[in-house]
Amino acid sequence: MVEPEDYFESDDGIARVARFGPVFAGIFKKGLTAKALDGVRKWQGPVMPDTKIFSFSLSFAADRLAPDTRTAADRLLGEFRDQTAGSATVLRTFGFEGSAARAMLATIYLLTRAAYPRKVFSTLAEAEAWLTTLHPDTAPINAAARWLTERDIGQAEALR
């Protein structure tokens, strides 16, 4: 088991985020709420490193976010925008629904023109490989990927 430097879990268990140096690894389950995202934002501020950060997220839902949840996501992204060096999002949905959701999110990313590179992936391995091209110290990215993989496997087993 990989142990993070800092850890947050929302009251409802829908959002979990672990910090590995400058890498914030997040898991977001179906039913994401504004309360969960605001909890992440409040936790993240005090544990921010003095360097640029990387976001490495694993989402198990491709549903549209409710308006208040979208607003909370915008608050979270906006607060740490200037400190972010890159962001990889893995949408763990399959088939046409998964492909369509990843394409839509990638289009939104292109249209919003973030000040940092960000991409959408279907697997953790692809996202990890891409993030390592953005940061010379791959150890925290690799640790975050292992932590996410452990939880991804656990989530898949729980769905069986």
Report the CATH number at residue 91: 3.30.750.24
Compute CA 50 distance to the chain's CA centroid, rounded to the nearest angstrom: 20
Higher local confidence (pLDDT), 104 or 28: 28
Please check whether residue 20 lies inside any domain of the structure. Answer: yes
Please check whether residue 108 lies inside any domain of the structure. Answer: yes
Higher local confidence (pLDDT), 20 or 115: 20
Range of the domain at 12: 6-159
Please check whether residue 1 lies inside any domain of the structure. Answer: no
Please check whether residue 119 lies inside any domain of the structure. Answer: yes
- pLDDT single digits (tens) 70-89: 888 888 888 898 999 998 98
Answer whether 0.85 is exceeded by the pTM.
Answer: yes
Q: Whole-number mean pLDDT of the chain?
A: 86
Average confidence (pLDDT) over 3-17: 94
Please check whether residue 110 lies inside any domain of the structure. Answer: yes
Count of structural domains within the chain: 1
